[in-house]
Amino acid sequence: MKNIKNEMKLEFSSKSTNEAFARISVAAFASQLDPTIEEIADIKTSVSEAVTNAIIHAYPNTDGIVKVRAFLYDNEIEIEVSDTGEGIENIEEAREPLYTTKGNLERSGMGFTIMENFMDELKVESIVGLGTKITMNKKIKKNMSLENTY
């Protein structure tokens, strides 16, 4: 079992303006692991995709609450983004590249594909009518060259 070094929780209204708040908050929290700029960019992009999915798909005609939890381990961050919205009927289909239920939006249905490529692990749990939880993990590689110069 992994040893949790720190954790955070956020809850916010499912308004698109809160996506940036979630992305920046998780990035600031992740900075405790001293990630590279690329690792932070991967985390920010993945959080952005997960939160945007919750805002657009979980609560299409109403406001709801999006929850973000993050856990720091020795060299890893785990991020959960959850909602109590509509849920995903077919998770495997939803994870297919370019699949979208919102063809009228300029989004291209690449959210899960982006999260899978930028994070080390992605788990999707969903029950129709009860909501969805996305769990993402990213290992942070320690910069050995800096450690050995002192």
Which residue numbers are catalytic? 49, 53, 107
Q: Which residue has the tokens 């720190």?
A: 6
Please state, in angstroms and rounded to a whole number, the distance separating the CA atoms of residues 28 and 1. 25
Please state, in angstroms and rounded to a whole number, the distance separating the CA atoms of residues 63 and 77. 29
DSSP annotation of 54 reads I
DSSP annotation of 38 reads H
